[in-house]
């Protein structure tokens, strides 16, 4: 989509010989335009809910809210939260994802079934011959961990900032081997480096409730509503790296807390090769990045980029055109 | 919460305690109540939205506490031997008592609450009546006040018709299996104070001290305390539950509690929520009262008995 947008912008600008926008400038404007549209999703969503409550919205094709939900869902992500290195497995502090825009929910896995360190690398398997702790199904004895249990690799496989990987148990092969839904224990290193794992019960996952800073100590002092492992709570703390402090403080193990959040859109980049001093679009460049907002936002993107371009080349007409287009689009959507 | 299989219900899947799930189907867990409420009543299209879970949890627990005080018929019982200081320490989850009984010779004898004071603090005084203090300025107190001492030693007289009552001294009676019986025909007494006409031991409850104090006739006897708790399972949220007959009431209670304290909710909505809550409580109380026609019939059969 990014090439179409760039081409359209250039076409509008060149029509009356207003000027030219370089790829570098376009990439800057594109980032701003996408962020603006991305933020508008949330306001539009709220607007649509209010309309629904006033019975001004319908179902089926008239269900605008669902469309916006789908737009936002593109950016939804779930990640097991890591902990600051100095307090891993000791303090109730968890690092928030680096790319988060809006933390929707934190969840806590309350029931740890098994933990240990893998001893061998088999693709799609978890192998731990040290503890031999798994249970194969037999008459009257259910398998353990049950199929569907959540496995978290708590050793970072890539860079230390890489998210921890998760998978589901698909079968208990033996007392030392599990089949997993994804290959999360392989490292490719020779010799193999054992990976720490934790296996959680997939049932009874509890939501960690967000509480304001100014209320958290009232809450922890309350006899009836103090956070427990059944009803945990967290507060956001800001610093160099943003963290969530989870209560009760017994929730302090790496892998215990997962985050469902909305991330920022990736920065769009129109990449090119210079052919006879002319930039020619190259979608194969390693740093190429298309717009992430859905295609139906193309008109908005063009309008916004034209506005930025109009301001850049000091052409009021261009700015006005972009602004009018944007306003018309917004009105028709409402 | 998923439904249990028969195997899980009767044997707890072989895990000890195997009776863990017996009778569990009568109850709905607090966790389910909060979860259901957040799912069904707290939404963008409901009267209640953007409400924190801890508030819902608070109101759910308050509803369960209130139900435990009077609506539930869930009375706990604890049997203990009364200690040498004639005390029965109240259980950790005690809120109020229902009945206190002496269990002796295979009979449960309900005890009477003594209308007189049974225990007091006492400060040490010198012979001029001045209160004595320690070097640190703390007031000096004996282990037992004079009243407590006399009660424990059995020298405190009773206004009740038990063996500590001085009226029985010199009266002809019969000792049978260690208990005294008196023949009122020989010395009939008129103007009997029925409030104190009970031969069993008496008790008073010292709420501040957290003990039940007995008279000396209860020394080393077995006491059964029937009491109500608040259903909070000593803070273990996972064990807090409520009878299913009250489930809908708990939702209504939470709804009302939230709506009534919210800004900008029209009074007719608050009023509707209040009426709904009250009606559901009434219905649930009737349902749980278990008025069985068979038992009523047995009681009514006595209506034709001749009274001598």
Q: In terms of CA atoms, which chain B residue is nearest residue A218?
A: B54
Q: What pLDDT was estimated at residue B189?
A: 61
Q: State how far residue B258 is from chain A, nearest Cα, in angstroms.
A: 15
CA distances from A158 to A115, A119, A123, A188, B308 (A): 21, 19, 17, 11, 95
A230–B31: do the CB atoms touch at under 8 Å?
A: yes
CA distances from B297 to B288, B289, B305 (A): 19, 16, 14
The predicted model gives B137-143 an average pLDDT of 92
Contact list in A for residue B58 (CB cut-off 8 A) is 222, 224-225
Tokens 């002809």 belong to residue: B172
- Ordered by start, the domain boundaries in chain A are 2-74+266-333, 77-263
Structure tokens at B299: 């009681």
CB B199 within 8 A of CB B193: no
The rounded distance, in Å, linking the Cα atoms of B107 and A72 is 72
Q: In terms of CA atoms, which chain A residue is nearest residue B239?
A: A230
A211–B52: do the CB atoms touch at under 8 Å?
A: yes
The predicted model gives B221-245 an average pLDDT of 88
pLDDT of residue B1 exceeding 60, the answer is no
pLDDT of residue B56 exceeding 90, the answer is yes
The rounded distance, in Å, linking the Cα atoms of A38 and A268 is 13
Q: Which of A142, A203, A225 sits opposite B57 (nearest CB)?
A: A225
Q: State how far residue A160 is from chain B, nearest Cα, in angstroms.
A: 34
The ipTM (two decimal places) reads 0.78
Q: Over the stretch A63-75, which tens digit does the pLDDT of each residue have?
A: 888 888 899 999 9
Pick A313 or B136 by higher pLDDT.
Answer: B136
Q: Over the stretch B186-217, which tens digit does the pLDDT of each residue have?
A: 455 666 778 888 888 899 999 988 999 998 88
Q: In terms of CA atoms, which chain B residue is nearest residue A226?
A: B54
pLDDT of residue B111 exceeding 90, the answer is yes
Tokens 């809450």 belong to residue: A219
The rounded distance, in Å, linking the Cα atoms of A237 and A95 is 10
What SS3 state is found at B58? helix
A233–B54: do the CB atoms touch at under 8 Å?
A: yes
Q: Over the stretch A246-283, which tens digit does the pLDDT of each residue have?
A: 999 999 888 899 999 999 999 999 888 888 878 888 88
A207–B53: do the CB atoms touch at under 8 Å?
A: yes
Q: Percentage of chain B surpassing pLDDT 70? A: 94
Q: In terms of CA atoms, which chain A residue is nearest residue B238?
A: A230
Q: Which of A142, A225, A228 sits opposite B58 (nearest CB)?
A: A225
Helix A23-53 to helix A2-15 angle, to the nearest 10 degrees?
Answer: 110
The predicted model gives B118-134 an average pLDDT of 91
The rounded distance, in Å, linking the Cα atoms of A161 and A151 is 19
Output the 3-class SS for chain A.
CHHHHHHHHHHHHHHCCCCCCCHHHHHHHHHHHHHHHHHHHHHHHHHHHHHHHCCCCCCHHHCHHHHHHHHHHCCEEEEECCCCHHHCCCCCEEECCCCEEEEEEEEECCCEEEEEECCECCCCEEECCCCCCCECCECCECCECCCCCEEEECCCCCCCCCCEEEEEEEEEEECCEEEECCCCCCCCCCCCCCCEEEEECCCCCEEEEECCHHHHHHHHHCCCCCCCCCCCEEEEECCCCCEEEEECCCCCCCCCEEEEEEECCCCCECCEEEECCEEEECCCCCCCECCCCCHHHHHHHHHHHHHHHHHHCCCHHHHHHHHHHHHHHHHHHC
Structure tokens at B62: 């308050």
Among A65, A215, A224, most B C-beta atoms within 10 A, so best to mutate, is A224
B44–A53: do the CB atoms touch at under 8 Å?
A: yes
Q: What pLDDT was estimated at residue A239?
A: 63
Contact list in A for residue B54 (CB cut-off 8 A) is 209, 211, 219, 225, 231, 233
What SS3 state is found at B37? helix
Among B43, B44, B66, most A C-beta atoms within 10 A, so best to mutate, is B44
Q: In terms of CA atoms, which chain B residue is nearest residue A222?
A: B58
CB B151 within 8 A of CB B118: yes
């Amino acid at each position: 989509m990014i090439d179409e947008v760039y081409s359209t912008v250039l076409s509008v600008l060149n029509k009356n010989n207003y000027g030219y926008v370089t790829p570098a400038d376009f990439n800057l404007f594109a980032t701003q335009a996408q962020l603006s549209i991305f933020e508008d999703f949330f306001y539009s969503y709220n607007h649509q809910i209010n309309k629904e409550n006033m019975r001004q919205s319908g179902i089926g094709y008239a269900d605008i809210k669902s469309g916006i939900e789908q737009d936002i869902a593109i950016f939804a992500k779930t990640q097991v939260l890591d902990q600051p290195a100095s307090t891993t497995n000791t303090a109730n502090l968890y690092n928030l994802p680096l790319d988060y825009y809006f933390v929707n929910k934190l969840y806590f896995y309350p029931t740890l079934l098994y933990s240990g360190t893998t001893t061998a690398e088999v693709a799609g398997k978890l192998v731990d011959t040290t503890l031999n702790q798994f249970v194969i199904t037999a008459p009257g004895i259910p398998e353990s961990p049950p199929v569907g249990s959540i496995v978290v690799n708590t050793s970072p496989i890539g860079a230390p900032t890489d998210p921890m990987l998760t998978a589901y148990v698909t079968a208990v092969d033996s007392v030392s081997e599990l089949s997993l839904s994804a290959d999360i224990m392989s490292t490719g290193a020779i010799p193999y480096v054992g990976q720490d794992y934790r296996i959680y019960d997939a049932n009874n996952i509890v939501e960690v409730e967000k509480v304001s800073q100014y209320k958290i100590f009232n809450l922890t002092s309350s006899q009836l509503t103090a956070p427990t492992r059944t009803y945990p709570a967290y507060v956001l703390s800001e610093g160099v790296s943003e963290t969530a402090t989870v209560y009760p403080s017994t929730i302090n193990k790496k892998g215990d807390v997962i985050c469902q959040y909305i991330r920022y859109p990736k920065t769009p980049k129109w990449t090119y090769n210079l052919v006879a001093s002319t930039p020619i679009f190259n979608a194969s460049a390693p740093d190429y990045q298309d717009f992430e907002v859905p295609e139906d936002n193309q008109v908005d993107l063009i309008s916004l980029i034209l506005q930025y371009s109009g301001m850049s080349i000091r052409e009021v007409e261009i700015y006005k055109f972009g602004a009018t287009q944007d306003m018309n689009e917004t009105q028709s959507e409402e | 919460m998923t439904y249990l299989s028969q195997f899980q219900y009767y044997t707890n899947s072989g895990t000890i305690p195997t009776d863990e799930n017996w009778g569990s189907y009568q109850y709905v867990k607090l966790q389910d109540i909060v979860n259901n409420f957040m799912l069904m009543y707290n939404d963008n299209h409901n009267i209640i939205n953007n409400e924190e879970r801890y508030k819902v949890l608070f109101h759910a627990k308050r509803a369960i506490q209130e139900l435990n005080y009077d609506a539930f018929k869930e009375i706990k019982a604890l049997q203990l031997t009364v200690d040498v200081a004639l005390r029965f320490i109240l259980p950790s989850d005690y809120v109020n008592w229902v009945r206190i009984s002496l269990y002796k010779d295979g009979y449960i004898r309900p005890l009477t609450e003594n209308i007189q004071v049974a225990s007091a603090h006492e400060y040490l005084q010198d012979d001029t009546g001045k209160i004595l203090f320690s070097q640190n300025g703390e007031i000096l107190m004996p282990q037992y006040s004079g009243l407590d001492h006399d009660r424990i030693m059995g020298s405190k007289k009773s206004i009740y018709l038990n063996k500590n009552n001085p009226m029985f001294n010199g009266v002809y009676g019969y000792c049978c299996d260690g208990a005294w019986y008196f023949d009122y025909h020989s010395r009939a007494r008129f103007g009997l104070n029925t409030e104190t006409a009970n031969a069993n031991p008496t008790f008073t409850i010292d709420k501040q001290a957290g003990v039940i104090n007995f008279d000396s006739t209860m020394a080393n006897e077995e006491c059964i305390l029937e009491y109500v708790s608040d259903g909070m399972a000593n803070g273990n949220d996972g064990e807090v539950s409520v009878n299913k007959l009250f489930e809908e009431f708990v939702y209504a209670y939470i709804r009302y509690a939230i709506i009534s304290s919210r800004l900008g909710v029209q009074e007719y909505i608050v009023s509707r929520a209040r009426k709904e809550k009250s009606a559901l409580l009434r219905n649930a109380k009737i349902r749980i009262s278990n008025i069985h026609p068979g038992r009523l019939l047995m009681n009514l059969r006595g209506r034709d008995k001749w009274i001598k």
